[in-house]
């Protein structure tokens, strides 16, 4: 078995909150635990990862406090690179070969984003972590997750969420009648203004027929299970 192109390939989106354990900066034990779950899957699945940076800076928030939006967005993108390096470190401690590719060139810490090279890494069983978002202000790492998933031909994009285990009919923290949805179409998600991912990202997945799985980080082994293809949480399709 094996050989290029025959294994399942996923794009996992880890938002910044996954790294901070709810706080500012990086919480090493939290990152170690996530890395361990990813490491458990890499013999069977090709794993590419897009990391967020909300545990450091969000451009929109900084610009509300008076900063220039683009410069603030670059700060946000640089934050994601720190998360990449933390994740790379714990993955390598767990014995997994890992490459970080950054959309903003910084040769000392990461490779440049070169899609065909990323695909080669995946075929060789290396985990590829994409940092610095798209390298463009006014974008989000959710949109980058959809774009990278499409460009490396991932089978699915997996959105790991903290504090919620899927998509609900209403906010489950506020509305006791909210029900979890096992499946959902992109049209419904867009119509209901469901904010599991930004609308640009959702539209991109819809237009290109890319399946998204929204699942909670919290359950035992959930990250491993989602990577392996268990239908946890909510599956969004066209």
Instruction: Tell whether residue 76 is a contact of ligand UDP (CB under 6 A).
Output: yes
Q: Does 168 bind ligand UDP (CB under 6 A)?
A: no
Q: How far apart are CA 176 and CA 166, in angstroms?
A: 15
Minimum distance from CB of 20 to ligand UDP (Å)?
9
| Residue 15 interacting with ligand UDP (CB under 6 A) | yes
* Residue nearer to ligand UDP on the CB measure, 40 or 210: 210
Instruction: Compute the least distance from the CB of residue 204 to ligand UDP, in Å.
Output: 13
Binding track over 109-148 against ligand UDP, x by CB under 6 A: ------------------------xx-xx-xxxx-x----
59 is in an annotated binding site: no
CB 122 within 8 A of CB 46: yes
Stretch that binds ligand UDP, among 51-59, 123-131, 159-167, 208-216 (CB under 6 A): 51-59
* 81 near ligand UDP, judged by CB under 6 A: no
Rg (CA), the chain: 17
Contact between 86 and ligand UDP per CB under 6 A: no
- Complete DSSP assignment for 14-67: E-HHHHHTTSSS--HHHHHHHHHHHHTTTTTEEEEEEE--TTT--HHHHHHTT-
Dihedral, CA atoms, 141, 211, 219, 90, nearest 10 degrees?
A: -50
- Residues contacting ligand UDP: total by CB under 6 A: 21
**Exposure b/e, 163-189, CB count within 10 A at least 16 = b:** ebbbbbeeebeeeeeeeebeebebeeb
Q: Which residues pair with 98 in a beta bridge?
A: 127
Binding of residue 53 to ligand UDP (CB under 6 A): yes
**Applying CB under 6 A, which residues contact ligand UDP?**
15-16, 52-54, 58-60, 73, 76-77, 80, 133-134, 136-137, 139-142, 144
């Amino acid at each position: 078995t094996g050989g290029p192109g025959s294994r399942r390939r996923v794009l996992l989106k880890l938002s910044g909150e996954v790294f901070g354990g709810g706080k500012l900066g990086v919480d090493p034990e939290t990152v170690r635990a996530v890395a361990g779950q990813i490491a458990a899957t890499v013999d069977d699945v090709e794993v590419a990862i897009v990391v967020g940076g909300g545990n450091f800076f969000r451009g929109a928030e900084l610009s509300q406090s008076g900063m220039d939006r683009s410069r603030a967005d670059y700060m946000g993108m640089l934050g994601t690179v720190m998360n990449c390096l933390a994740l790379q470190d714990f993955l390598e401690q767990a014995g997994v070969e890992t490459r970080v590719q950054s959309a903003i060139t910084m040769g000392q810490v990461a490779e440049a984003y070169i899609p065909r090279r990323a695909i080669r890494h995946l075929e060789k069983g290396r985990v590829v972590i994409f940092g610095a978002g798209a390298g463009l202000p006014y974008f989000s790492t959710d949109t980058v997750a959809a774009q990278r998933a499409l460009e490396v031909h991932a089978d699915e994009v997996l959105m790991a969420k903290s504090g919620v285990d899927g998509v609900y009919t209403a906010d489950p923290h506020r509305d006791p009648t909210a029900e979890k949805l096992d499946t959902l179409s992109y049209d419904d998600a867009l119509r209901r203004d469901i904010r599991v991912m930004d609308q640009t990202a959702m539209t991109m997945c819809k237009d290109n027929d890319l399946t998204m799985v929204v699942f909670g980080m919290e359950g035992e082994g959930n990250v491993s299970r989602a990577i392996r293809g268990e239908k946890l949480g909510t599956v969004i399709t066209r």
